[in-house]
Amino acid sequence: MGLKKHPIRSYRDLDVYQGSYDASIIVLTKILPKLPKEEKYDLADQLRRSAKAIPRLIAEGYAKKHQKKGFQKYIDDAMAEANETVVGLCQCRDIYYKFVNPQLCEELIDIYDKTGRQLYKLGIAWDSFNTR
């Protein structure tokens, strides 16, 4: 027996939204506060913005769910932000390993890699989802 599919009634029903939101909270509370002060306006600021942007873009894109091109633009932008977040987390892991937990960075990198794949698949498969 396969998994029973539930209708998507809100962007909050999307696994990719839930995962990216939860990961953003970890980035904001467990990674960014540990970065050195000299990174406040560079790496920390960029990572803060990219991690926050992903669930926001998914939510905004969901509002355009009936417009294939409008929806796809937001999904593509969220995928770009996920990639940017991966790079920022790699930099945290590789440069500031004395300040941040490298294992936590690695776990978050895996989550954001998965997020990118989920967003790609969501963009392709959107027309087949039950959104009513």
**What is the model's pLDDT at position 3?**
54
What pLDDT shows up at residue 69?
A: 86
Domain ranges of the chain: 21-126
Cα separation of 50 and 18, whole Å?
16
Distance, in Å, from the CA atom of 71 to the CA atom of 78, rounded to the nearest integer, reads 11
- Give the model's pLDDT for residue 130: 47
Range list of H helices, 1-132: 15-26, 43-63, 68-95, 102-125
Residues in the chain predicted with pLDDT less than 50, given as ranges, are 1-2, 130, 132
Task: Give the per-residue pLDDT at 112.
Answer: 98
Query: What confidence score (pLDDT) does residue 5 get?
Result: 65
Question: What homologous superfamily does CATH list for 21-126?
Answer: 23S rRNA-intervening sequence (1.20.1440.60)
- Based on the number of CB atoms within 10 Å of its own CB, is 2 exposed (0-12), middle (13-18) or buried (19 or more)? exposed
pLDDT of the residue at 70: 87
Q: What is the pLDDT, as a whole number, of residue 1? A: 45
- pTM for the model stands at 0.90
- Spell out the long-range contacts of 87-91 with Cβ–Cβ below 8 A and sequence spacing 24 or more: 88/43, 88/46, 88/47, 88/50, 88/51, 89/27, 89/31, 89/47, 91/43
